[in-house]
Amino acid sequence: MQDDEVSPPTDVGVGIPVDEGRAVDAPRPSRSPIDKAVEEEAIACVRRGQHKEALTKLMVAYSKPLTAFALRILRDPDLAKDVRQQVFLEAFHGIEKFAGRASIWSWLCGIAHNRCIDELRRMKRTPVDFGVLEDLLELPDLSMDNQRSVARRRTLERCLAKLSSSERMQVLMRLLLRLSYAEIGELVHDSPGTVQVRISRILPRLRRCLGDPGDFG
Amino acid sequence: MSEPTPNGEPAPSDLTDAPGVSEEERAESAWLIARDKDPNALPPNARIANAYAEIETLLGSLPAPAEDDGWQTEVLDLAMRQRRRRRGIQRVAWVAATATVVVCILLLVSQPRSELIALTKEAPELDLALRPGKSRRAEGPTASVGDHLIVKALSDGRAELRVYHNEQTLLARCPAGPGCVSVTKQELAIDVELKAPGTYQIILILGLDDSVSTDQTSAYGAYVDAAMAAKARIVMHSPLKVL
């Protein structure tokens, strides 16, 4: 059983060379949540002094994936909502200084990551019952989805919970938040190549778990 | 080697050393890395390819908790309150900093300058200086009420140094008189406050003998006459005007 404390990333492993160039060049996963139009409108609002309007646009566009991320890391809906609030408050106060060096989305993800780390360090927690977590989620209407899909989602939540906080964080930053390896590396203080190899070692465990829950080690 | 946890605890067991890490898993990992650059990279098998397609779909659409009504309004209200508070704090800090600077300036202005203002040396035997009073800063060598007049005079062992006010009042006398602060065989020194406007006379008599009046009440004119009659050496400074 993996503990839920903040734990280090697993070693990248023997036999898989780390290719920094390949990792840096690797594009973001497809279907990125980044909404360039919203970000440009938000920056335009800030320049006009309309900070509330800018924040509203960002909250509408980005709150769901960020909250979903925080929920899987902290495994507590109230804490996830607290992190959501902190992310957008920091965005409100900091957006004037935001130099546009990266997308606003990447910036918000970085804030969410750091606030989750703060929460993990502050609390000593025991793992949350997976059932409780799922009951509080917006699961699709059963009339529109089939039983297997719902079962797969539940299994995935259980498999994610079996990863360490750090592993879960990096997998979700890649596949939920759609950050690049370079962006993830900056947040976890590791090279893009190391992050890439590390995630490539975590995903097979997740796949095996998802395929057959009894097999997961 | 796994890195230690941020709080220094031992790291969880390393995957590479765990039992069950097979060549198949390594091949799977290698394919995951390869397809980052080439989406058409061949997977180990179709089952694995389908599994990852599902994983990415599921992970990419993880649901969030049900949203509570009005949370965005709460965030906006809190943000505005924080901004007003921060601006209030900044304003208070600015006012406090400005007040501190003003107080420092006032303190500096009200403090007497410790340095002496040397007056023009008119005779080698006499050195005159002003020490500005607390109430005002002296502007250059101009004396003001409240300033102190410091006079140092070379002595021949039989010398007397005096300061008069308006040629009438003996303010300071050295040696053995008011305002005398130092007596050596070579030097006499007077320190006297200029308490009133008027003209101050500074006179040094060298080669003093008993024929020169040592009476402390004698006026300036009578004192000079006595010194001249005794053929003593007289060294004078231009009268110091105090407005």
Nearest CB partner across the interface for B16, out of A14, A65, A93: A14
Minimal-distance CA residue of chain A relative to B20: A217
pLDDT band at A134 (very low <50, low <70, confident <90, very high): low
Minimal-distance CA residue of chain B relative to A163: B12
Chains A and B: how many Cβ contacts under 8 Å? 173
Task: Inspect the interface and report whether the beta carbons of B2 and A8 lie closer than 8 Å.
Answer: yes
pLDDT band at B12 (very low <50, low <70, confident <90, very high): very low
pLDDT at B176 over 70: yes
Question: How far A101 CA lies from chain B's nearest CA (Å)?
Answer: 24
For the stretch B33-71, pLDDT in tens is: 999 988 889 998 888 888 998 898 888 888 888 878 899
pLDDT band at A216 (very low <50, low <70, confident <90, very high): very low
The confidence score (pLDDT) of residue A125 equals: 55
The confidence score (pLDDT) of residue B161 equals: 94
Chain A positions in Cβ-Cβ contact with residue B36 (cut-off 8 Å): 22-23, 26-27, 181, 196
- Tell whether B140 is within 8 A of chain A (Cβ): no
Nearest CB partner across the interface for B20, out of A5, A176, A217: A217
Residue of higher predicted confidence among B198 and B134? B198
Chain B positions in Cβ-Cβ contact with residue A85 (cut-off 8 Å): 71, 74-75, 78
Tell me how far apart the alpha carbons of residues A121 and A118 are, in angstroms, rounded to a whole number: 5
Residue of higher predicted confidence among A41 and B17? A41
Task: Inspect the interface and report whether the beta carbons of B65 and A71 lie closer than 8 Å.
Answer: yes
Return mean pLDDT, chain B: 83
Question: How far A126 CA lies from chain B's nearest CA (Å)?
Answer: 17
Task: Inspect the interface and report whether the beta carbons of B65 and A139 lie closer than 8 Å.
Answer: no
Nearest CB partner across the interface for A204, out of B29, B64, B78: B29
Percent of chain B with pLDDT over 70: 84
Return mean pLDDT, chain A: 80
Element (H, E) at A95: none
Query: Per-residue pLDDT averaged across B68-89, rounded?
Result: 90
pLDDT band at A145 (very low <50, low <70, confident <90, very high): low
pLDDT band at B6 (very low <50, low <70, confident <90, very high): very low
For residue A129, what are the CA distances in angstroms to A66, A81, A125, A161, A168?
A: 22, 19, 12, 10, 17
Report yes or no: A155 and A213 within 8 Å, Cβ to Cβ.
yes
The confidence score (pLDDT) of residue A99 equals: 54
Task: Inspect the interface and report whether the beta carbons of B5 and A6 lie closer than 8 Å.
Answer: yes
pLDDT band at B3 (very low <50, low <70, confident <90, very high): very low
- Tell whether B8 is within 8 A of chain A (Cβ): no
pLDDT band at B237 (very low <50, low <70, confident <90, very high): very high
SS (H, E, C) A127-167: CCCHHHHHHCECCCCCCCCCHHHHHHHHHHHHHHHHCCHHH
Tell me how far apart the alpha carbons of residues A123 and A136 are, in angstroms, rounded to a whole number: 21
Nearest CB partner across the interface for B60, out of A27, A175, A200: A175
Report yes or no: B175 and B140 within 8 Å, Cβ to Cβ.
no
Task: Inspect the interface and report whether the beta carbons of B62 and A200 lie closer than 8 Å.
Answer: no
Max avg pLDDT among A56-65, B12-21, B67-76: A56-65
The pTM score is 0.60
Residue of higher predicted confidence among A48 and B112? A48
Query: Per-residue pLDDT averaged across B191-204, rounded?
Result: 94
Query: Per-residue pLDDT averaged across B93-113, rounded?
Result: 83
Query: Per-residue pLDDT averaged across B134-140, rounded?
Result: 64
Chain B positions in Cβ-Cβ contact with residue A163 (cut-off 8 Å): none
pLDDT at A46 over 70: yes
The confidence score (pLDDT) of residue B4 equals: 41
Question: How far A99 CA lies from chain B's nearest CA (Å)?
Answer: 20
pLDDT at A160 over 80: yes
Chain A neighbours among B 13-32 (CB < 8 Å)?
14-16, 18-21, 25-26, 28-30, 32
Residue of higher predicted confidence among A113 and B157? A113
Distance from CA of residue B96 to its chain's centroid?
17
Residue of higher predicted confidence among B202 and B208? B202
Q: What's the token pair of residue B110?
A: 């009200």
